[in-house]
Structure 1
């Protein structure tokens, strides 16, 4: 009985996170209401307070889940016996896929650290963002050591990467108003954009 109860709690918790993520993507905003989230998850809105303490707590849990998956993928990437160039290519493809799947990511991070407690800022910076930046730095150093990469500033290359990855998916208005009325990137456009962006970033890195 206790195991079943824990499983039920886990299902409801994940349903709320899934509902929040889906609404943010569909509405192109992080400002989604708890009643809408609860309705999408098909639960009472009081479940948000029960499982997360507050809407803010739920958003932090969503950020932990979204980024945590990518950190584990990076750890697996570093265990592969491949060249720095191929490792970077896979890494960049993964970042582009992340922003296609989670276009609200940067907006959510900025909202969660604005006027936040020092403890939360530390958690987001040290446990969610620095592992990704450090992993990319490690690949760059590996590539420089093998002669595959020219010397670049890893910090600036990180911003090159995130800016390029976020640009298409967080700019629905520009995509729609300037480039042919497309409401948002679909799978085909994402694959084209990913290929071009990864090639462009790698071209600036290769020796």
Structure 2
């Protein structure tokens, strides 16, 4: 008989185990049995909670996005100027929670899998729209809309590119360096505007 109240804890343990397994393997080539073992539950229980592995992968991606969204909301609430909003968006994407090796590897694996999975592709589109919108929430207070759109798109591409390079164990060595690179780009774009 299942223990009352254990389902949320076990689901979370399975999601955490999925992130860990993907991070270690560097791909989605992990089995439900392997994930269940890491989570300390049976494979049958993992299937009971999530059905197929694809559903667990989708739940894991939703979890990562939910954490990112919650972190972003907190950061944006504490930003008092348009410029601080833009920096908050950048900083959250490279926070200790978001820029962990296993989370970075999971993002890369999800990007690859989204080429085959319509559900994952939809989630990645949601992420891209939110990132663009969050960047625009600050940039439109500084730049004209069309220019703010371009700077937001380029900043989002820098964030994604730095994640990819880090997942491939190339490029910037840490989050502080990644943030500094993006802030340099933003300062260049914004200082050109104020000089006009």
The Cα offsets for residues 76-113 of structure 1, whole Å up to 9 and x where unpaired, read as 333335222222222111112324351121331441x3
Structure 2 residue runs of 5 or longer lacking an equivalent are 192-196
**1:58-207 → structure 2 map (5 Å cutoff):** 58-97=56-95, 98-100=98-100, 102-104=103-105, 105-111=107-113, 113-117=114-118, 121-126=121-126, 128-144=127-143, 153=150, 154-164=152-162, 166-172=163-169, 174=170, 189-207=173-191
Contact 2:83–2:142, Cα closer than 8 Å, also in 1? yes
Per-residue deviation, 1:44: 0.9
The Cα offsets for residues 39-79 of structure 1, whole Å up to 9 and x where unpaired, read as 11111111222111110000000000101111122233333
Contact 1:24–1:32, Cα closer than 8 Å, also in 2? yes
Q: Are residue 26 (structure 1) and residue 27 (structure 2) matched?
A: no
Q: Distance in 2 between matches of 1:19 and 1:33?
A: 11
| Corresponding residue SS for 2:117 | coil
Contact 2:85–2:138, Cα closer than 8 Å, also in 1? yes
Structure 1 residue runs of 5 or longer lacking an equivalent are 176-184
| CA RMSD across the alignment | 2.8
Q: 1:55 to 1:70 in 2, by over 3 A?
A: same
Aligned residues: 184
Q: 1:86 to 1:61 in 2, by over 3 A?
A: same
Moved over 4 A (4+): none
Contact 2:22–2:109, Cα closer than 8 Å, also in 1? no
Q: Distance in 2 between matches of 1:155 and 1:81?
A: 21
Normalising by structure 1, what TM-score?
0.75
Aligned counterpart, 2:194: none
